[in-house]
Structure 1
Amino acid sequence: MKASKFSDAQKAFILKQGADGVPVADICRRAGISQATYFNWKKKYEGLAPLEMRRLKQLEDENTKLRKLVADLSLDREILQDVIRRKI
């Protein structure tokens, strides 16, 4: 996945403008983002401070690594079980 060119503080500022009543179209035009991006950020980060946003990303990255590790271990287990069955 491509890294965002916006920092967590910039995302928080953009979302705060929306919460303050600035029209979404104006916010997106000034920031150079699509409305879809704005609403994706809003869904994911609304109400979070930049430090909380950073922590959320760290937890998501850790979760992704753990999921891959579990998938690899599950595959290894299946392969070992197939080898054991063939020897019996």
Structure 2
Amino acid sequence: MRKSKFTETQIVGMIKEAETSVPVPEMCRKHGVGQSTFYKWRSKYDGMEPMMFNA
């Protein structure tokens, strides 16, 4: 199985970005992600909070 070039934190961040005010097609173009991929991610990761690590 191919590994994603995005981390779970980045994916959750994109989902949160789409929930605010950015239209999904525009957000997908900005990040280079297909809309179908985004909707699959949303069904899998929706409801999660991005983890923030202080290094």
Is there any run of 5+ residues in structure 1 with no aligned partner, and where? Answer: 52-88
Counterparts of 1:18 and 1:25 in 2: how far apart (Å)?
9
More helix by share: 1
CA deviation after TM superposition for structure 1 residue 50, in Å: 4.1
Shift of 1:12: 0.9
Number of aligned residues:
51
Structure 1: 4+ residue segments shifted above 4 A: none
Q: Tell me the distance in 2 between the aligned counterparts of 1:50 and 1:6.
A: 13
Render the CA deviation track for 1:8-32: whole Å, top value 9, x for unaligned.
1110110001111210001100110
Among the aligned pairs, what percent are the same residue? 37
Considering only CA atoms, is the larger Rg found in Structure 1 or Structure 2?
1
Number of the residue aligned with 2:20: 20
Q: Aligned letter for 2:24?
A: V
Counterpart amino acid of residue 40 in structure 2: N
Counterpart in the other structure of 2:10: 10
